[in-house]
Amino acid sequence: MFSVECHCGNLKLITNEHPASITSCNCSICYRLGALWAYYDSEKVTVRVGDKSVDTYSWGEKSITYHRCGECGCITHYTTVETNGNEMTAINCRMASSSITDKIPVRQFDGLLTWKYRDV
Ligand SMILES: [Zn+2]
């Protein structure tokens, strides 16, 4: 099992699959967020929301929606609809304990220019 939660605990995500790797992306928003992403089919992720609000953010073609706790402001995940029609959820592993994420390899993704991993 792998689970994360925002700072205040209002927003939690749970999945059965521990991430094999997590991704650091340098695109215009991921770089600002400092997020570390693990990618899942959305149907494999359970999202639990407490009694506080959740805000969303998207821009441009609005193909990606970022989800942020309305109480503590942490970005916990983003969701996107893939070309095959399936929804994908990217969990922000910064919402997990560093004692867990420190053991997971981090891959560098060049989302700014080449749209490729820089470690291949
Ligand atoms: Zn929160």
CATH code at 94?
A: 2.170.150.70
From ligand 1's centre to the CA of 12, what distance in Å?
9
For residues 40, 42, 45, 50, the Cα torsion angle rounded to the nearest 10 degrees is 130
From ligand 1's centre to the CA of 52, what distance in Å?
8
Count of the separate structural domains present in the chain: 1
Q: Between 21 and 120, whose confidence is greater? A: 21
Q: Which of 113, 74, 90 is nearest to 22 (CA)?
A: 90
Task: Report if residue 33 sits inside a domain.
Answer: yes
| Domain membership of residue 89 as a residue range | 2-111
Phi, psi of 20 (to 5 degrees): -75, -30
pLDDT one-digit tens code per residue, 27-36: 999 999 999 9
Q: pTM of this prediction?
A: 0.93
DSSP state, 93?
A: G
Of the chain, the percentage scoring pLDDT greater than 90 comes to 89
Question: Could you tell me whether strands 116-117 and 45-49 are parallel, antiparallel, or unpaired per DSSP bridges?
Answer: unpaired
From ligand 1's centre to the CA of 76, what distance in Å?
9
From ligand 1's centre to the CA of 110, what distance in Å?
29
Task: Report if residue 98 sits inside a domain.
Answer: yes
Task: Report if residue 117 sits inside a domain.
Answer: no
